[in-house]
Structure 1
Amino acid sequence: MLKGIPKILSPELLKVLCEMGHSDQIVLSDGNFPTESMGKDCIVIRCDGHGVPELLEAILEVFPLDTYIEKPVNLMEVVPGDTVETPIWDTYKEIVSKYDNRGNEVVGNIERFAFYEKAKKAYAIVATGEKALYANVILQKGVVVD
């Protein structure tokens, strides 16, 4: 155990977050995301039993978002014609706003299949037990500045 590190961040996840460099991306996937097939060429970390919001909050305590791009946080767009509600996105925006002074402006949306293509190129994918639909999020790492 370490002081000041959220307990939800496992040693494996902390190691990956530390290894990641500027512009590397990490996916926080919901329970329906095809994590294993998308993660064939990247690191897959299992965090079953945890939701995306609690992991997002913990990660952003130690993980800087990229300031060199407008949208370092991206959500999977709802497929046209799908009537699914996405209240979890509001939760994500509240969390992101606590850790990035640009607020909601850093959150974008990516079409479903374009999201899959980005996920395949991510440094890591975190598989969660999140039950909300369209709850997938990609974070792009920035630079630690003291």
Structure 2
Amino acid sequence: MLKGIPQILSPELLKVLCEMGHSDRIVLSDGNFPAETMGKNSIVIRCDGHNIPDLLDAILTVFPLDTYIDKPVNLMEVVPGDHVETPIWDTYKEIVKKHDSRGAEAVGNIERFAFYEEAKTAYAIIATGEKALYGNIMLQKGVVV
């Protein structure tokens, strides 16, 4: 164990976060996301039993968001006609605000299939037990100054 590191961050996840460089992306995927399929060229880390808000909050304590782009955090857009509420997005925005001065302004949306294509090029995908529909979130790493 280490001091000051959230316990939810496993040694495997910490190693991946440390290995990532500027502009690398990581996906925190909900339980319905095809993590293994999308992650064929990425590192897939299983965090079953954990939800995304807890992981997101812990990750952002050690992970700088990219300041060279407007939207270093992206959510998967709801498919038009899919009548799904996404209250978890407000939770994500509050967590981002806690760790980044841009707050909700740092959060964008990516169309569902474009999100899948972006996920295929992510450095890593964290497969969670998150039950919220459209709970997927992608982070782009910045630099530590």
Q: What is the TM-score of this pair, normalised by structure 2?
A: 1.00
Query: What is the rounded CA distance, in whole Å, between the counterparts of 2:57 and 2:102 in structure 1?
Result: 16
2:101 pairs with 1:101: yes
One-letter amino acid of the structure 1 residue matched with residue 136 of structure 2: N
Percentage identity across aligned positions? Answer: 83
SS at match of 2:82: coil
Taking the aligned partners of 2:13 and 2:71, their CA distance within structure 1 comes to 23
Q: How many residues align?
A: 145
Query: Which amino acid in structure 1 is aligned with residue 112 of structure 2?
Result: R
Residue 28 of structure 1: SS of its match in structure 2?
A: strand
1:143 match: 143
1:6-21 equivalences under 5 Å are 6-21=6-21
**If the length of structure 1 is used for normalisation, what is the TM-score?**
0.99
Which structure 1 residue ranges, 4+ long, deviate > 6 Å from structure 2?
none
1:40 partnered with 2:51: no
Q: Could you list the per-position Cα deviations for residues 89-111 of structure 1 after superposition, in whole angstroms to 9, with x for gaps in the alignment? A: 00000000000001110000000
> What RMSD over aligned residues (CA atoms) do the two structures have, in Å?
0.2
1:4 deviates by 0.2
Alignment-derived partner of residue 71 in structure 1: 71
Mapped partners of 1:114, 1:60: distance in 2: 24
For residues 50 and 40 of structure 2, what CA distance do their matches in structure 1 show? 22
Tell me the distance in 1 between the aligned counterparts of 2:103 and 2:137.
16
Q: How does 1:44-55 map to 2 (within 5 A)?
A: 44-55=44-55
User: Any gaps of 5 or more consecutive residues in structure 2?
Assistant: none
Q: Which amino acid aligns with 2:140?
A: Q
Taking the aligned partners of 1:7 and 1:88, their CA distance within structure 2 comes to: 22
Aligned to 2:87: 87
